[in-house]
């Protein structure tokens, strides 16, 4: 949770500046009088400056009556816009339905016992409620899933090295420009751009989906995985028909099973994932006109979020993320990745640039209540722990991350009280929407998939 005012954008008018002054006055408990009301109407023309503060107390929090317009103007509150679709993957019902089937079909797993939907399950907000994902040959689901051994080689298959993020709202991930894009950064190190490319990667990872199904070195097996999955899909007549219906333009030029290739495979899964957008949180309803959607504590938390708690520095905009790669100094747990044994150096694992060491992509806070544990390695179990980490000046910290290396806005403690931390957390919970406005079918595991394998579990189904 970080903060530094961008004066060129946030303080773009006197009325906005006065609104922020009023917000700070509210947090400091500066009495009964509205800090703005004494200004003349001529000097404060914006409705955003009309805050009132009640001096009464309730439940340990100072009740507030904040103009919805004031909050929206002061903190540039936004809701999600139109989904940014790729030119070659517009929304098409047949394609979305196909992508859902492929997403939950364990035919993608090297040993046919794991699907995309195993670690990104709708019961767990399209994540898994685990510190580290348990992919290939795991048994069970979500926090109860345990890793095992390869059914082919008998070799142990361990946990994944990072926490599994939610699929919800990944349609709005931003690219290097900071704007939502169909080529937005995916994965915590941003190593691929766009959902279509992302869909081709987990099947190449031994601990995620590949297992020991393909021969050769790790690199050779990874290279063989995508071609092998495509071959499997092509061998299933129902999938051939469904791909032809979902990609009619391509089917007019390509005969038979060849319609299924890496491009149509990635676009099918991407088409499904891109529709998993949640727009009906209490926050969204508040911004769109429902003044009572946020309660008093949540509104107090909102003001804190963008001021004293400094969250809005990185967690801003409609996705509550700027999608930058930031060094936060989060303590490392788990096996780590490849550059330093037992450690995870973040974006450097992809770019191989030492300047990117320990930098991870800023994640969205939408549905953050539903996606514990937190950080790249799931080191914090609760949102209160996350806020306390920033409140203590990014402590406890990774021993290799010095004050000089860490993002400078994280070094100083924030001075939040216990009640203020609670209010910030309550505001973040107002960003929760498990898909209440979505077609319910998008949130359901299909009863059966064309491979004939049990959805999600495959040959490990019990």
Contacts of 296 (CB under 8 A, 6+ apart): 58, 61, 63, 64
Give me the pLDDT at residue 63, please.
Answer: 52
Going from the first residue of the chain to its last (462 residues), give the mean pLDDT of each consecutive group of 10, the final group possibly shorter: 33 42 48 34 31 33 73 97 98 98 98 97 98 95 95 96 98 96 98 98 98 96 97 98 98 97 98 98 98 96 98 97 97 96 97 97 98 98 98 97 94 97 98 98 98 96 80
Give me the pLDDT at residue 32, please.
Answer: 38
Q: Where are the beta strands (DSSP E) in 303-408?
A: 325-327, 359-361
Note the Cα 382 to chain centre separation in Å.
16
CATH code for the part of the protein at 93-277+439-460: 1.10.760.10
Tell me which H or E stretch contains 64.
strand 64-66
Give me the pLDDT at residue 62, please.
Answer: 58
CATH 1.10.760.10 range(s) for the chain read 14-76+281-429, 93-277+439-460
Cite the DSSP H helix spans in 37-160: 68-75, 93-103, 116-119
Beta bridge partners of 185: 193
Return the CA Rg of the chain.
Answer: 24
- Contact between 230 and 260 under an 8 Å Cβ cutoff? The reply is yes
Phi then psi for 60, rounded to 5 degrees?
85, -5
pTM above 0.85, yes or no: yes
Cite the DSSP H helix spans in 206-311: 218-234, 237-246, 248-251, 262-274, 282-287, 296-306
- Region for residue 263 given its phi and psi (left: phi exceeds 0; alpha: psi -120 to 50; beta: otherwise): alpha
End-to-end CA distance of the chain: give it in Å, rounded.
43
Give me the pLDDT at residue 64, please.
Answer: 56
Beta bridge partners of 360: 326
Beta bridge partners of 65: 52
Give me the pLDDT at residue 14, please.
Answer: 40
Nearest to 200 by CA among 152, 249, 287, 263: 263
Nearest to 283 by CA among 331, 319, 230: 319
Give me the pLDDT at residue 4, please.
Answer: 32
Tell me which H or E stretch contains 20.
helix 14-28
Cite the DSSP H helix spans in 29-153: 68-75, 93-103, 116-119
Whether the upstream peptide bond of residue 373 has omega within 30° of 0, thus cis, is: yes
Q: How many CB atoms lie within 10 A of CB 100?
A: 25
- Contact between 84 and 109 under an 8 Å Cβ cutoff? The reply is no
CATH architecture of residue range(s) 14-76+281-429: Orthogonal Bundle (1.10)
Q: Read off the tokens for 304.
A: 């804190």
Residue 35: helix, strand or coil by DSSP?
coil
The dihedral built from the CA positions of residue 281, 284, 290 and 291, taken in this order, carries a sign that is positive
């Amino acid at each position: 949770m970080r903060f530094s005012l961008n004066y060129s954008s946030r303080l773009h008018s006197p009325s906005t500046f006065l609104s922020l002054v009023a917000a700070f006055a509210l947090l400091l408990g500066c009495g009964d009088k509205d800090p703005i009301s004494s200004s003349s109407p001529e000097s404060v023309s914006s409705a955003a400056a009309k805050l009132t503060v009640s001096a009464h107390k309730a439940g340990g929090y100072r009740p507030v009556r904040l103009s919805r317009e004031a909050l929206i103007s002061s903190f540039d509150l936004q809701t999600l816009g139109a989904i940014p679709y790729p030119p070659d993957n517009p929304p098409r019902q047949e394609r979305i339905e196909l992508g859902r089937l492929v997403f939950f079909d364990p035919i993608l797993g090297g040993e046919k016992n794991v699907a995309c939907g195993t670690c990104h399950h709708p019961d767990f907000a399209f994540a898994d409620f685990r510190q580290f994902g348990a992919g290939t040959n795991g048994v069970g689901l979500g926090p109860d899933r345990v890793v095992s051994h390869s059914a082919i080689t008998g070799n142990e298959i361990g946990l994944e090295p990072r926490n599994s993020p939610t699929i919800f709202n990944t349609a709005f991930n931003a690219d290097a420009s900071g704007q939502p894009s169909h080529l937005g950064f995916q994965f915590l190190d941003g190593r691929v751009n766009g959902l279509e490319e992302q869909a081709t990667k987990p099947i190449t990872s031994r601990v995620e989906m590949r297992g020991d199904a393909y021969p050769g070195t790790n690199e050779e097996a990874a290279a063989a995985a995508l071609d092998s999955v495509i071959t499997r899909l092509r061998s299933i007549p129902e999938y051939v028909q469904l791909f032809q219906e979902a990609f009619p333009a391509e089917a007019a030029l390509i005969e038979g099973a060849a319609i299924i290739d890496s491009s149509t495979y990635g676009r099918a899964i991407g088409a499904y994932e891109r529709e998993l957008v949640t727009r009906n949180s209490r926050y969204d309803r508040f911004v769109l006109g429902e003044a009572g959607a946020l309660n008093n504590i949540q509104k107090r938390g909102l003001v804190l979020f963008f001021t004293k708690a400094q969250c809005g520095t990185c967690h801003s905009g409609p996705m509550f993320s700027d999608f930058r790669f930031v060094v936060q100094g989060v303590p490392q747990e788990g096996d780590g990745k490849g550059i330093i044994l037992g450690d995870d150096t973040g974006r450097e694992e992809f770019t191989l640039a030492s300047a990117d060491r320990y930098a991870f992509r800023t994640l969205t806070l939408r549905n953050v209540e539903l996606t514990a544990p937190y950080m790249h390695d799931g080191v914090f179990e609760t949102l209160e722990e996350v806020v306390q980490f920033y409140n203590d000046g990014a402590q406890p910290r990774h021993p290799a991350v010095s004050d000089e290396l860490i993002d400078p806005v994280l070094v100083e403690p924030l001075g939040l009280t216990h009640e203020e931390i609670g209010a910030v957390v309550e505001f973040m919970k107002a960003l929760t929407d498990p898909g209440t406005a979505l077609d319910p079918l998008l949130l359901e595991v299909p009863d059966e998939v064309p491979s004939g394998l049990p959805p999600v579990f495959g040959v490990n189904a019990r």
